Amino acid sequence: MNLRIIASDFNASLKTWKRSKGTMFWTIAFPVLLILIFGAIFSGADEVTYEFHVQDLDDSDWSHTFINILDNISVVDIKTVSSDENITAFIEKETLSVALVIPGGFGEAIDKSFFDEEITVNVSFHYDPSEQGSSASILRSIVTSSLQEFNMQLSGGRRIIGVDQISTITEDFDFIDFFIPGMIGFTIMTSCIYGSIERNTKFRKDGILRKLLTTPITRAEWILAKMLFMLFLSFVSTLVILVVGTLVWGVSLHINLFMIVFMVVIIIATSFLFSGIGMIIGRFVKEEETADMAGGAITFPMMFLAGTFFSLDMMPEFMQSIARILPLYYVNEGLRNAMIYTNIDKTIFNTAIVLIFAAIFFLVGVFVTKWKED
Amino acid sequence: MIEKDVRCPKCHEIVTFSGEPGERLTVTCPKCGAQGKVTFKKSTIDQDYAIEVSHLKKIYGDLAAVDDISFSVPKGEIFAFLGPNGAGKTTTVEIIESIREPTMGTIRIFGKDITSSFNEVKEKIGILPQEFQSFEKLTVKETLVYFSKLYKKRADIDDIIGAMDLKDNQNKLYKNLSGGLKQRVGVAISLVNDPEIVFLDEPSTGLDPKARREVWEVIANLRSKGKTVFLTTHYMEEAEYLADHIAIIHKGKIIAEGSLEELINRYGKGSLLHIKGCKTGNTVELLRENGFNATSKENGNIAVTIGHKDRLLEVLSHLRHKCVDYDSIDIRRPNLEEIFLQLTGAKLSEVKA
Ligand SMILES: Nc1ncnc2c1ncn2[C@@H]1O[C@H](COP(=O)(O)OP(=O)(O)O)[C@@H](O)[C@H]1O
Ligand SMILES: [Mg+2]
């Protein structure tokens, strides 16, 4: 590995990109345009609720005390949910964004905790992750700080009462929240596939690959340099999409280390995945225009079938099962779960699938492409 | 035991002999029977040749694109590989450049077999592939800097820009250059590592005559810098103008090889004398009676083939003796086109793959 060569190649790619209006359009302007257009079509007014539904399954002195603490906070308007309601069904029926459940045994646990230091008890905070911008985050912080205060009063700081956060993904999250992760996946897919196709068809026809074969650069150095550049593009696109989405439509992201790490992993894997697919196309379709068409024939249907812009739940069953075999589906789901739903299990699951797809397609791509001629 | 390829001085067949290092043997050419002595070097490195190709063969399906060819390129020469489209020029040159694998045969560059030494060789060669197009959105200078950074050994970019006469265009984007300039940039790229051998695959194909001339000047310039140039072309003027040594390739085989003089002397049917505007009857008959190959053309023009230069004076003295009246005489020696026509029965510029 020669870093000077890699840096020089990266620099050349960057210059080329800055001078190519077409690529600039697809990596930056196109996603921004789509966000603006789709956002305008689907944006609905955000209704902010400070009503806080609390279900008290304990009905003890301690639970009453805690509810009182919450109720005393001026912006919170406590609504009691009857203890025979199924909370999940209730949330769905009333289209609530948040609800708090105090479990049975809450009071008993607090009583015991005075004698047994090990005892703790958790309340459950149900929330809809797609509505993060509005009331949910405010109520969440209210619950956490109230609990802190309550714990302080009870034990001088020992954490007796904790919070279980339960996400209640309902069908009616904001469209833009659904759309932004899809836009990121789609943009990375197109720029990596078409970039890779260009390198493996046009550069071959123009003799650039043959030329490079007779210079000291190795294929590993070339691939690494190009992949670093594709990653750079993917992150630029992602950043632009997130900034525009947040500034214009108020997409509210979950910025925490765990999710950022997963987002980064998914973006890197996606870049490798679709660069690999581009290599495979370039291997079998030698002519650049035809290869671009083949790229379009793969990306365009995949964009719809993988639930990029519209939820798959609106589609018939067989279309949903098609989506399950498309790599972009897992990219979309992974990004959504990481950025929007903050569903850790699903994030890990989808990321793992994306990584497997990436490893397979990239390795096959590297394996089937060669610089040598027959 | 080592092997050595020797070109028979008489029939130019390349024959492989084997012997011990340092041994001197008397050998007989299996083709023409000529005898000669062969010395086997103590060191197998042959310092005099930049490139040695022996028994190279490349088969595609039922087609022998390159059919058992052998040749050597001495250091410091411009070697032209001349042949029509589809003759096997690119296949040969790309095998030498390790871009394609041969079906059979060995290639040595500076005496070392390239199958094991090509990575070292990379620093010493510069190539311009056929129909090469560089990165569209880089300027001429950026392009040269890009390629030079790939090498350990680097020539001064500004020197190359000066030598290739690219100074006025060095900040233009490659895609905005004319065809001739692009080819000059292509040659310039092949020089960024100050190579000892430069391979140019049809560097002037597709250019107009003026641009072609400019490319030729640039190539001629390389010889004066002491570089070995391996040039492929299907323009006979290009080979005539540039090459020290020419190999004519047709259907995968080398059908003639030597300097321009040698080729003309060996294969040319002699010079062609044109008597223009002849006003005396029976001149053709007169010349024929005296054993000349004369043919009558339109407007009283007569063409005479001259085998040896002494015969030229004979023609002139016959004309004078019989008081033949004519407007003018010109004389032309045969060119490669005619030699090719004679060897293959086909025209160089018209043969298609
Ligand atoms: N990759 C290939 N597969 C099959 N046939 C080939 C291939 N490359 C070249 N050929 C054939 O080999 C012959 C020589 O081609 P080439 O070396 O390109 O000729 P030239 O460079 O002299 O025009 C042609 O008939 C061509 O069609
Ligand atoms: Mg060719």
Q: Compute φ and ψ for B271, nearest 5 degrees.
A: -80, 165
Nearest CA to ligand 1 atom 25: B86
**Fold of the B61-264 domain:** Rossmann fold (3.40.50)
B101, B132, B145 member nearest A211 (Cβ): B132
pLDDT in the model for residue A134: 53
Cβ under 8 Å to B: A residues 345-374: 371-374
Bridge partner list, A54: A80, A100
Q: Is the dihedral of CA B21, B25, B30, B36 positive or negative?
A: positive
Strands of chain B, DSSP E: 2-7, 14-19, 24-28, 35-39, 49-60, 63-74, 78-82, 104-109, 112-113, 125-128, 197-201, 228-233, 245-250, 253-258, 271-276, 293-296, 302-306, 328-332
Residues by chain with Cβ below 5 Å of ion ligand 2: B 89-90, 130
DSSP state for residue B164 in the 8-state scheme = T
pLDDT in the model for residue A161: 78
Could you say which ligand is closest to the alpha carbon of residue B130? 2
Q: What's the burial of B279, exposed, middle or buried (CB within 10 Å: 0-12/13-18/19+)?
A: exposed
pLDDT (tens digit per residue) in B34-80: 888 887 776 545 458 999 999 999 999 999 999 999 999 999 999 99
C-alpha B66 to ligand 1 mean position (Å): 9
pLDDT in the model for residue A252: 66
CB B247 within 8 A of CB B81: yes
C-alpha A106 to ligand 2 mean position (Å): 85
The two three-digit tokens of residue B24, written as one number: 């001197």
pLDDT in the model for residue A206: 94
Q: Which of A1, A9, A203, A211 to mutate to test the interface with B (most CBs of B within 10 A)?
A: A211
C-alpha B232 to ligand 2 mean position (Å): 8
What is d(CA B299, CA B28) in angstroms, rounded to the nearest whole number? Answer: 54
Query: Which atom, in ligand 1's list, is nearest to the CA of B88?
Result: 17
Amino acid of residue B274: H
What is d(CA B324, CA B302) in angstroms, rounded to the nearest whole number? Answer: 12
Q: Which residue of B has its CA nearest to A20?
A: B137
Coil, helix or strand at residue A319 = helix
Contacts of B207 (CB under 8 A, 6+ apart): B179, B180, B183, B215
pLDDT in the model for residue B42: 64
Contact B101 A206 (CB under 8 A): no
pLDDT in the model for residue B220: 92
Q: Which of A196, A217, A169 is nearest to A313 (CA)?
A: A169
Domains, chain A, with CATH or none? 3-42+174-368 (no CATH), 46-165 (3.40.1710.10)
Per-residue pLDDT of chain B (353 residues; tens, 9 = 90+): 777 778 787 787 888 888 877 777 888 888 888 888 887 776 545 458 999 999 999 999 999 999 999 999 999 999 999 999 999 999 999 999 999 999 999 999 999 999 988 889 999 999 999 999 999 999 999 999 999 999 999 999 999 999 888 999 999 999 999 999 999 999 999 999 999 999 999 999 888 899 899 899 989 989 888 899 999 999 989 999 999 999 999 999 999 999 988 888 887 777 788 888 888 778 888 888 888 888 888 777 888 888 777 778 888 888 888 878 888 888 877 788 888 888 887 777 665 44
Please state which CATH number belongs to domain B269-333.
3.30.70.120
Output Rg (C-alpha) for chain B, integer angstroms. 24
Shortest distance, CA A50 to any CA of chain B (angstroms): 56
- Between the CA atoms of B205, B209, B215 and B221, what dihedral angle is there, to the nearest 10 degrees? 130
Q: Which residue of A has its CA nearest to B101?
A: A374
pLDDT in the model for residue A43: 61
CB atoms inside a 10 Å sphere around CB B132: 23
Low-confidence stretches of chain A (pLDDT < 70) are 42-50, 74-75, 129-137, 157, 166-173, 252, 314
